[in-house]
Structure 1
């Protein structure tokens, strides 16, 4: 009977602990071994040992310290994400959550970051132990893909919807020339094929390319920083329209993340505030405790802050409803990782107005509740991987800018 019960027991999640402090490794081991769902398959005291043990033990989750001798956690993480992508939670005693160094770990593939000070707060130690256990369980269900150590914005390939054609005329001989170029790398001049004179090509990116022809609303919570770091830096500011993101996270962390994302993106990224005018080629971000709607003001579109007490729905619901009411089929709603049950009413209104709903694949969500709730309530037929979401955004924005049917 005992053997039969053991055979049917669910497999444990193998975990590798990497930290140069024996005390902290033992501390983590004691917490995780209290949970029957986990098994500790190895311990390492630096990045070199960790990479060796990953090959030998094949862990499902790695707990990795950032500051270590010989090879630090960031370097080890970069090697992991190239050669053996594994869900990794970073720890640090010197770096706080919501800082640039923290976001560096997420950009390089970590799925979460925990300050050691957070764990050692004695007044709520038991609560924080449970938080750690929950984070490890979420990490074990997360699908990590291989990535380069640092990625940066790259234009869409030539021959795609990023390609543009213009007709120009030579002032010297009057010859008509057709110029084909990449939107993100426009040509400033060409040589006339008939007389050899130089033909200047003028561009006005703000007026020509960055009108608000399409608005994409993005919603997320815990884990969506990772998703946004893989999406926004890959977007071209010349694709037309704007992005507005609602993030259910700590307001100070959202502010710091906005500044960080702006520094690594070609698209301008700013913290959205009451009364801000929406400009094409820009991504606006605000935390989930704010309730804002898009409102026409004179010849511009602005964000207007609302009082929560009089509203029916969450901040994502309110924003989606206002955007889709104004833009109809030239609006999209993208749902990333998050646990807050927000956005289902807004997505329903978006769909009614002809907009495009896009839900991130649950395997790429650190927290799945937000997306799953919307999938169930709105009976959506499919989800999208991160790379596909980038292409969908580009296609919708370029299509609207070029006068095609968005969505």
Structure 2
């Protein structure tokens, strides 16, 4: 049975373009279109599509408001289309905050070398996020006798409608530190990564003892806005990495989009090197590049994680870290938006632990001796 897609955009040209691409794959079918957010909400309830593609700027109701209402009434995996501008980046992050799963630029040529590549990318992305529909559950209202919950500020955390079930076992497993000593933490991710990174980083204390390298597949215009948002939400400092940055404890360095982030120097006096992305590289930034660089400088002193994402980026860099004696963990399948990158690491026998997203920060603090 084909994956059912609802296409939402106020531009008739873009609706037609996206519909043609989706319908050209026999595994996909556009079942209807909507010209604004209000129509999208109504049709999401009526048609129950497997995936929705959503524009951000629309009349009557914008895409972000529509995402919020859909996730509250008819939880569905949503792929946003946005412009590659600073304002577009902020709006896209707001859409992820509201519950959207992933995003693509409206100008396909910004992410693809030719039309065929752009077509394949969109089709693959729709199929990948469609698998999240099984995890979409309407939030259950607390029983009258339940203890009151403390309100949390609005952040990029996924709504309860789109996360995997939080109760995995009656009693949560208690973690134990391995006893290894670390000098660096490194985290790589892609699809679903912005939400996953925020989930983890907002739980870390200001005095986290190591520098943190963050490699998130993201366009160049998005990484600065994403780092700024994380910095306002986290106790640790988060910044977009710059060439020459000296690694400091309690600071997270987000690899800039379109570039590669490497480490130079020696432990305790290491610096960041930002290099050209490279025409032949599939990912800019690339987890393998940063992980491999870290393995050469820090050897067995790296605590690394591979989170949700499409593909296998992080596997070869993780292999280098493991060979040097460092630790690699993978996010578990149930809590991933796309179980691609973590699966590649797990299948290769590189990760020592598979962890649910909502407990990774807890596990990190135990491992580095802070809990």
Q: Report the TM-score when normalising by structure 1.
A: 0.66
Aligned counterpart, 1:166: none
In the other structure, the counterpart of 1:182 is: none
Further displaced range: 131-140 or 237-246: 237-246
Residue from 138, 149, 155 that aligns with 1:151? 155
Aligned partners of 2:156 and 2:274: how far apart in 1? Answer: 36
Residue 294 of structure 2 is matched in structure 1 by 319
Query: CA offsets per residue over residues 219-263 of structure 1, 9 Å max, x none?
Result: 234553342233323433244433222345445543443233223
1:351 Cα offset (Å): 7.7
- Alignment of 1:110 with 2:100, yes or no, is yes
Q: How many residues align?
A: 321
Matched, 1:70 2:60: yes
Once residues 112 and 36 of structure 2 are traced to their aligned partners in structure 1, the CA distance between those partners, rounded to angstroms, is: 27
Residue 38 of structure 1 deviates from its aligned partner by 1.2
* CA–CA distance in structure 2, aligned partners of residues 389 and 295 of structure 1: 28
What's the counterpart of residue 192 of structure 1?
none
Tell me the SS of whatever aligns to 1:393.
helix
Q: How does 1:1-400 map to 2 (within 5 A)?
A: 11-92=1-82, 99-118=89-108, 124-142=114-132, 150-151=154-155, 215-287=184-256, 289-293=260-264, 295-296=266-267, 300-303=268-271, 305=273, 314-320=289-295, 322-325=297-300, 327=301, 331-336=302-307, 337-346=309-318, 349-350=321-322, 353=325, 355-362=326-333, 364-365=335-336, 368-378=339-349, 380=351, 383-397=354-368, 400=369
SS of 1:31's equivalent in the other structure is helix
Match of 1:280, SS state, is: coil
**CA–CA distance in structure 1, aligned partners of residues 33 and 242 of structure 2:** 46
Match of 2:160 in 1: none
Q: 1:292 touches 1:303 (CA, 8 Å); kept in 2?
A: yes
* Separation of aligned partners in 1, 2:16 and 2:272: 51
C-alpha deviation, 1:13, in angstroms: 0.6
Change in 2 beyond 3 A, CA 1:52/1:223: same
Q: Distance in 1 between matches of 2:239 and 2:121?
A: 31
- Structure 1 residues not aligned, in runs of 5+: 1-10, 154-211, 403-407
Change (3 A) 1:53 1:267: same
- SS of residue matched to 1:39: strand
Q: State whether residues 79 and 104 of structure 2, in contact with CA within 8 Å, keep that contact through their aligned partners in structure 1.
A: yes
8 Å Cα contact 2:261/2:289 also seen in 1: no
For the 8 Å contact 2:67–2:100, the answer to whether it is kept is: yes
1:158-195, Cα deviation, whole Å (9 max, x unpaired) = xxxxxxxxxxxxxxxxxxxxxxxxxxxxxxxxxxxxxx
- Describe the SS at the equivalent of 1:235: coil
CA distance in structure 2 between the partners assigned to 1:305 and 1:350 by the alignment: 22
- Provide closer, same or farther for how the CA distance between residues 126 and 217 of structure 1 changes in structure 2, counting only shifts above 3 A: closer
Deviation readout 1:67-96 (Å, 9 max, x if unpaired): 222221101112233443321111246967
CA contact (8 A) 2:86 2:221 kept: no
Larger Rg: 1
User: For the residues of structure 1 that align with 2:351 and 2:112, how far apart are their CA atoms?
Assistant: 45
Q: CA deviation at 1:268?
A: 0.8
Whole-angstrom distance in 2 between the partners of 1:83 and 1:293: 50
The CA distance in 2 between the partners of 1:122 and 1:218, in whole Å, is 25
CA, structure 1 residues 82+236, in 2 after alignment: closer, same or farther (shift >3 Å)? farther
Pair 70,26 (structure 1): closer, same or farther in 2 beyond 3 Å: same
Q: 1:321 to 1:388 in 2, by over 3 A?
A: farther
> RMSD of the alignment, in Å?
3.8
Question: How many angstroms does 1:138 deviate by?
Answer: 1.8
- Is residue 247–residue 270 contact of structure 2 (8 Å, CA) maintained in 1? yes
